[in-house]
Structure 1
Amino acid sequence: MHPDTLLALSKRLADFAQERDWAQFHSPKNLASALVVEAGELLEPFQWLTEAQSRSLSSEQLAAVTDEMADVLLYLVQLANALQVDLPKAAHEKVTRNEQRYPVEKAKGRSTKHDAL
């Protein structure tokens, strides 16, 4: 198994939790709650930045954002494990639905929600 796959990450996380007897705390509700907390922490380094500043982070800011992005991903993968969701498959299916809801000819260059296109 290639170490950069979500499957490898999923297994590593499951092993990590099992070795520490943490599975008992990893209910879908708890994992979803932790995911939301981490997503909030991801927003913190961007607070008070302008749009332009958010596109050119300092190395320290980027390191903080990178750590929070990793935390979000880790909890999302653990939640997928807990619910037996094939995350890459679900993501591809969602992109397919979005392609249908946001056809290029209607959505290009617009941020309008699909039901208002």
Structure 2
Amino acid sequence: MENFNPQDCIAGKISRLQRQITHIFRKHIRSFGVTTSQLSLLFVLFKRTELSQKELAEIAVLEKSSLKRNIDLIIKNGWAEPGLGKKVSLTPSGKKLVIMVLPSWQQAMKTLEMQLGQDGLAALKLLESKF
């Protein structure tokens, strides 16, 4: 038990970083009425046009319940619409939202890039490559 230090927990460190990074994005996109999770899905749909919920979950690395909750809200807000075979696509309103949010998202990215610096961005890429 003497070697036990909760501050060394990898999951805890990643969770803290995720909360701090998400906070920066939330500050920038708050006025658009969309969450970071929803925006990630909207970005994927914007680039890929139409996807099944299964494909969307795989790309976004989301559990089925998290995906369903977010997709249901996106559809309820009129940003996407269900298609045949559980496919989902953006509505014109969803496309407009992505275009409107993009400058704020880019500003959040710049803020984080400056805060992390080149070494931090390289470390992030290295971590991501391990999975």
Q: Same fold (TM over 0.5)?
A: no
The structure, 1 or 2, with the larger RCO (C-alpha pairs under 8 Å, 6+ apart) is: 1
Q: Structure 1 or 2: larger strand share?
A: 2
Which band: TM-score by shorter chain? Answer: 0.3 to 0.5
